[in-house]
Chain A
Amino acid sequence: MRGNAAAHDLIAPGSLGAVLDLLAREPGQWTPIAGGTELMVAFAAGRLNAPKLVSLWGIPDLRAINATASNIAIGAAATFLDLRKHAVIAGELPLLAKAASWIGSVANQTRATLGGNLVNGSPAADSSPALLAYDAEIELISVRGSRRIPYSEFHTGYKRNVLAADELLYAIHLPRRFAGHKQYLRKVGTRRAMAIAKVALGATALLENGVIREIRLGAASLAPYPARLRQTEKALLGKVPAREAVLAARNALQAEVQPIDDIRSTAEYRRRVAVNLLEEFLLELRLEGAQP
């Protein structure tokens, strides 16, 4: 244990307004900490470069999950257990519920938050492929007001995002329009539980008369940050998911992903498995489309 608790300031203003005021008054000085499942690991390893931290834990505004007929808004500090327990998420957004069940272990899911997962910005983030496949939007908030952007535009580089110095991730919005879509999510890790993704693919697609009318593919660990596979989607949109389109999609995927060798895996393996996952999804899609 290499962290020194006395060397850090940690405060809990207790309300969203107070936190935002603080970030506005001293932009870039305070590191928000929600469940702490990333920051406390860095702390114990002696590499938490955050002398001042402001706690987001226990602020009801940030943890609320609100569903309307057409959308669901998930507070950034909602835990993964909150997500798994929520009826709408469990029922209509199974990819997100599945991803939530893959975060660490039960003891991590009670503390790790959706917002924390996104702001931490690991290219292997467990929730990202599902959010990308569900066309999520994120809402950022500051004293200056709030703004919404597609989640796919949130990350700009390895562990870089568009948050301004005085901004906080407030909520993640998902449209409730995927019930009729074919859905797929698969994570390939080092073991069945407690594993960082070597590759993960999330997908939603809508078939009409056997033709792909909509398709969204979100991937983890194939780029410096979680990203939509736009070129691969383009190769499939408007096509029947049969051999020709599958080959074209494979080629597009191979061209657009940028996997690396790292301590967990190799670029070559990731590339190949990404192709296999895509084909597995497309096969399922074709079989579904073939049913009367």
Chain B
Amino acid sequence: MSTHAKTRIVGAPVPRKEGVDKLTGRACYIDDMGREGMLFGATVRSSIPRGLIRTIAFSPHIDWSEFTVVTAKDIPGENCIQLIVADQPCLADGKVNHCEEPILLIAHPDKHKLREAVSAVAIEYTPLQPVFSIEESERQDVIVWGDDNILKSFLLEKGDVDSAWSSAAHVVEREYRTGAQEHLYIENNGVIAEYSPKSGITVWGSLQCPYYVVKALRGVFGLPEEKVRVIQTETGGAFGGKEDYPSILACHASLLAMKCGHPIKMVYDRIEDLAATTKRHPSRIRHRTALDRNGKLLAMEIQLDTDGGAYATLSSTVLSRATLHSTGPYLCPNVRVRARSWATNLVPYGAFRGFGAPQAVFAMERHMDEIAAILGIDPVELRRRNFLHEGDTNATEQLMHEPVILDRLLDRALVESDYYGRRAQFNRENPSSTVKRGMGIAAFYHGSGFTGSGEVYLNSLAGIDVTPRGQVRVLVSNTEFGQGTNTILTQIAAEALGVDYGDVTMAAPDTGMVPNSGPTVASRTSMIVGRIVERAAVQLVALLRELAGLGASHTREEFFAACGRYRADHGKVESFCRYEAPPGISWDDQKYHGEAYGAYAWAVYVAQVAVDTVTYCAEVEDFWAVQEVGRVLHPVLAAGQIEGGIAQAIGYALYEKVVMKDGRMANNQMTNYIMPTAEDVPPIHVFFEQVPFRYGGFGAKGIGELPHDGPAPAIVNAIRDAIGVGFNFIPLLPEDLYAGLCHNQTVEEPAVQ
């Protein structure tokens, strides 16, 4: 269709649709808003990781008649946050399973009295034995969830793994670990909720998925869809941290609103947001790999375990994506992946950019370098020898029938980074320097959209309409939170309709007004939703040609004139389409077999790292990112996604550690949860190779999560290159580098000669 067409708007660096408001301070985020008669809400939370609630006492020195108090008893529908598995209560009822679990809600007009009231609720517990790690959970001597602590498990098999070991020239076995990671959106979670018996619930909030919130509210309140309305406000960063968590907050604020009859605002401060909301799943991934003499992969056996926290939330889908990304962009005839997500008594983990892939890719790409070192093969060559090509099948026996240009990406990455030149230079310079430098690479992919039949199940509906005043509106429930949804979808619509970029706006992300085009997750917006919007636009043009005299080619004036004629004869000018799966997609959810994803984005990243052996600090000095994401819809926004994802992943690798103490995040302040500043990020060089995907919006594939998958292993591989020590876990802090180097140094010699 349009994938290779020459375009005026798609592919051009048009100004961000909502950019001026953001730059002038006019953009309205949830805490900038208020409603008449609004009160403030706050949450009383568990101070223990697991136990029974014995008593709840309200201190007599507070006049409780001024306050609205909500407990689980006030829940009209089901005390459960509807997501995937119905296991997470909206409010704890009789028992708690993690620190910070919400128990009570309180509302008051005065924020200060509200805080005092929260401190004036005394809860006594009967503590139960908590579980705090994958290891403790898998021992299964303390069961904290279901019958066996297993939130979800998968088994993926290809070929015959067991036959490969005896004939292999090499078998390499390693274990890799990744830590929790906090999204650290600069805007904390927040909502405002209103309730009336007549119209039901209205929620405004900082969120990614308005219809997820609708679903959760319907469950907690037992209300039909027409009585629940959710409106996304300008959202200051999300990264998955506002995919499912806002459902909880929305239910809380709505319960208070219902009970007191006033609008309720609940906005977390940073201390609460860090302690109480979702984070990236920690993982432990064990690889056992058989190779032939030349380093060709014969078999991969992978044991992949994640820590899901106290409730299932999205652990099953994160585990799924981790599983499907665990074998890397490599051809391997025999594969077994056993994956399990374990329940612990920690704050439930959730969605975060990459969604299991960063964990899986870290393990696979570190493992390739370990293999290379043991076999004495160049890590670049080892990868090249094993790359998937068009016509190969991957681990789920999906035939790669689209081009796979990994070789080209690798070649380009090596050239742009002068990989071999720099490595040789550092080899020469390192012995006489206290700062050791190295280069590292990672090759990887990211599946766009929901796994397997997920998109069919979502059955997204999206559309376009034209108002009587001649404004084209894109009607989707997909949200802008910095990544460019507003801009790319209006670009696509404008291009496909033959009008100007300035003629098209986004309808407000208000479930009372827009259809359910699915959540804004899984790197699906440009590829899946963009495609539906494109088709709806094409459909509208066809309709105007058929029924309103629009010519075979048209100017924008002619388009709007035709809309006028259509409206006069037929009423509303609108066009909707539903998701259509590309042909030949079949997926077996039981066997984990078939087309896992409709399309893959591919990448090769290179990191240059310097390790200071005086301070044991590692810093990324330079970074090159080469990727293929289908058609690049907007060069500035696309590069911005890559750069931002890489910066976040640099934090994941070297700076960001969630310190847990007795089940609570101990470093829940920005001063102690360390993300890279403007002085810490390296220059980031971004390169796109374009291979348009015919089923994506104007040829686009997903882009948002890909850049968070590759940097961490590239960085740790570079550290291995620099100092000759391989580390198999992240975050890798100076203290860890010191400990690792210690084993390579005799104690008596000073560090500096």
- Name A residues whose Cβ lies closer than 8 Å to a Cβ of B: 1-2, 4, 6-7, 41, 44-46, 188, 190-196, 198, 246-247, 250, 263-266, 268-269, 272-273, 275-277, 279-280, 283
**In the assembled complex, which residues on chain A have CB atoms less than 8 Å from the CB atom of B619?**
192
**In the assembled complex, which residues on chain B have CB atoms less than 8 Å from the CB atom of A264?**
672
Please determine whether A1 and B269 come into contact, CB atoms closer than 8 angstroms: yes
Task: Give bound CA distance, A247 to B747, whole Å.
Answer: 12
Please determine whether B752 and A279 come into contact, CB atoms closer than 8 angstroms: yes
Main secondary structure of the interface of B (DSSP, over half): loop
Contact with A along B587-617 (1 / 0, CB 8 A): 0000000000000000000000000011111
Partner of B735, one of A191, A193, A265: A265
Please determine whether B616 and A273 come into contact, CB atoms closer than 8 angstroms: yes
Residue of B nearest to A284 (CB): B752
Distance in angstroms from B659 CB to nearest chain A CB is 6
Distance in angstroms from A249 CB to nearest chain B CB is 10
Please determine whether A266 and B752 come into contact, CB atoms closer than 8 angstroms: no
Question: Considering residues B655, B659, B677, B752, which has the most beta carbons from chain A within 10 angstroms of its beta carbon?
Answer: B752
Partner of A190, one of B655, B669, B679: B655
Task: Give bound CA distance, A250 to B750, whole Å.
Answer: 9
Please determine whether A7 and B614 come into contact, CB atoms closer than 8 angstroms: no
Which B residues, 442 to 493, have Cβ-Cβ distances below 8 Å to chain A? none
Please determine whether A276 and B614 come into contact, CB atoms closer than 8 angstroms: yes
Which B residues, 723 to 753, have Cβ-Cβ distances below 8 Å to chain A? 734-735, 738-739, 750-752
Please determine whether B655 and A276 come into contact, CB atoms closer than 8 angstroms: no
Please determine whether B680 and A269 come into contact, CB atoms closer than 8 angstroms: no
Interface residues on B, range: 20 to 34
Please determine whether B616 and A275 come into contact, CB atoms closer than 8 angstroms: no
Please determine whether B269 and A269 come into contact, CB atoms closer than 8 angstroms: no
Question: Considering residues A45, A194, A196, A275, which has the most beta carbons from chain B within 10 angstroms of its beta carbon?
Answer: A194
Contact with A along B664-678 (1 / 0, CB 8 A): 001101011010111
Distance in angstroms from B181 CB to nearest chain A CB is 16
**In the assembled complex, which residues on chain A have CB atoms less than 8 Å from the CB atom of B568?**
none
B84 interface residue (CB < 8 Å to A): no
Residue of B nearest to A283 (CB): B752
Distance in angstroms from B465 CB to nearest chain A CB is 42
The 4 closest A-B pairs by CB, nearest first: A4-B112, A192-B679, A193-B679, A279-B752
Residue of A nearest to B735 (CB): A269
**In the assembled complex, which residues on chain A have CB atoms less than 8 Å from the CB atom of B734?**
188, 198, 265, 269
Task: Give bound CA distance, A264 to B666, whole Å.
Answer: 11
Between-chain CB contacts (< 8 Å), 15 pairs: A4-B115, A6-B112, A45-B271, A46-B115, A192-B680, A195-B674, A263-B659, A265-B734, A273-B616, A273-B738, A275-B751, A276-B750, A279-B750, A279-B751, A279-B752
**In the assembled complex, which residues on chain A have CB atoms less than 8 Å from the CB atom of B659?**
263
Please determine whether B752 and A191 come into contact, CB atoms closer than 8 angstroms: no
Residue of B nearest to A247 (CB): B750
Residue of A nearest to B111 (CB): A1
Partner of A269, one of B613, B616, B655: B616
Residue of B nearest to A269 (CB): B735
Partner of B666, one of A263, A275, A276: A263
Please determine whether A191 and B674 come into contact, CB atoms closer than 8 angstroms: yes
Say yes or no: A193-B617 contact (C-beta < 8 A), given A45-B271, A275-B750.
no
Say yes or no: A280-B655 contact (C-beta < 8 A), given A2-B269, A250-B750, A275-B751.
no
Please determine whether A273 and B672 come into contact, CB atoms closer than 8 angstroms: no
Say yes or no: A269-B112 contact (C-beta < 8 A), given A188-B615, A191-B677, A276-B751.
no
**In the assembled complex, which residues on chain B have CB atoms less than 8 Å from the CB atom of A272?**
616, 738, 751
**In the assembled complex, which residues on chain B have CB atoms less than 8 Å from the CB atom of A191?**
655, 674, 676-677, 679-680
Task: Give bound CA distance, A192 to B654, whole Å.
Answer: 13
Distance in angstroms from B587 CB to nearest chain A CB is 43
Q: Contacts A191-B655, A275-B751, A276-B752 given; 13 further ones with Cβ under 8 A?
A: A1-B269, A2-B115, A7-B112, A45-B669, A188-B615, A188-B734, A191-B677, A192-B679, A195-B674, A247-B750, A273-B614, A277-B615, A280-B614
Task: Give bound CA distance, A4 to B734, whole Å.
Answer: 39
Distance in angstroms from A209 CB to nearest chain B CB is 24
**In the assembled complex, which residues on chain A have CB atoms less than 8 Å from the CB atom of B671?**
41, 196
Please determine whether A193 and B751 come into contact, CB atoms closer than 8 angstroms: no
Please determine whether B735 and A266 come into contact, CB atoms closer than 8 angstroms: yes
**In the assembled complex, which residues on chain B have CB atoms less than 8 Å from the CB atom of A277?**
614-615
**In the assembled complex, which residues on chain A have CB atoms less than 8 Å from the CB atom of B655?**
190-191
Say yes or no: A273-B615 contact (C-beta < 8 A), given A4-B112, A191-B680, A193-B680.
yes
